[in-house]
Structure 1
Amino acid sequence: MNTIFLPMFAHVILCVVLYGLLTIARAPSVWGLGKRADGSNPFQSIQPKLSANLSNQFEWPVFFHLVCVLLISTDSTISSAYYLLAWVFIAGRVLHSGVQIFTSNIRLRGSVFTINFIAVLAMWVMYSIEKMSS
């Protein structure tokens, strides 16, 4: 198995966890499960943040998955730099999710996103240079 698959799978697991959390956060409003005594949803403030974060998982991360698929499909030796950048991306996504869901700190969220952005951009630059030089 190509180990660049592992960070890809880790991102899928992150998305599964986010879908699960969003389902729990919506349960009081949708199914009436877990409502407060006054009938309100205890997760009302976090639900929009979860939803927004889940949507974010299908924006820039698409470029991560695409470069990984390209690396796998070429069947060439994948340098350790790709693995490092892939795991930096995953750590950044997890951190970004935590910041977006549990805080309102836009500056911090932007800084954390920059980690993700640069990791994937670096993977694309490396891949492009390799393809242009071969």
Structure 2
Amino acid sequence: MTSTTLLILCALWAQGVLTMALLFILGRRRLPLVAQKKIAVRDIALKRDPWPEEVQKASNAFDNQFQLPVLFAIGAGMAIYLGAGWIEAVLAWMFVGTRIAHATIHVTSNHVYQRFTAYVLGFFTLIALWIAILVRLILAFGAL
């Protein structure tokens, strides 16, 4: 296994840990409210409205991990398959860094402009990763 492959796999692992950490945070915020009967299960069975803001922030941050990070995982897999280089490895970690920042802002201050900045940086990093993959694909076709 190359060092760049290992770096990308570690970035994927870190993204997975972030997702699991957010689920843990969500559970720590939800379960006490249900256990203390501050929230009725029937009220939350189909909608999120009854949850307090802190729970909704954690829930939204968790849900966000199934949007851009899905494209990241697909791209990382393609990059590894195509023989990823340092560009892809650095972009992978940059993306994960923006997701960590985005999630941290989401579950704490929820400052919308800061969160949006982290999101946009992650989005453009993801675009750069996909462009790097496209270049590798084009070069692979040229080598055939």
Q: Name the TM-score, length of structure 1 as normaliser.
A: 0.85
Task: Select which of 108, 112, 134 maps to 1:128.
Answer: 134
Task: Select which of 47, 55, 62 maps to 2:55.
Answer: 47
Residues paired across the two proteins, number: 125
Answer yes or no: is the 8 Å Cα contact 1:25–1:44 preserved in 2.
Answer: no
Cα RMSD (Å): 1.8
1:81-120 matched pairs, under 5 angstroms: 81-120=87-126
Which 4+ residue blocks in structure 1 deviate beyond 3 angstroms?
none
Residue 13 of structure 1 aligns with which residue?
A: 17
User: 5+ residue gaps in structure 2?
Assistant: 40-50
Higher helix share: 2
AA partner of residue 74 (structure 2) = L
TM-aligned CA deviation for residue 109 of structure 1: 1.0
Give the Cα separation in 2 of the matches to 1:95 and 1:68: 20
Give the Cα separation in 2 of the matches to 1:71 and 1:104: 33
Task: Select which of 33, 41, 64 maps to 1:56.
Answer: 64
State the structure with bigger RCO (CA 8 A, min sep 6), 1 or 2.
2
Give the Cα separation in 1 of the matches to 2:21 and 2:74: 22
Q: Name the TM-score, length of structure 2 as normaliser.
A: 0.79
- Matched position secondary structure for 1:103: coil
Q: Report percent identity of matched pairs.
A: 23
User: 5+ residue gaps in structure 1?
Assistant: none
TM-aligned CA deviation for residue 89 of structure 1: 0.7
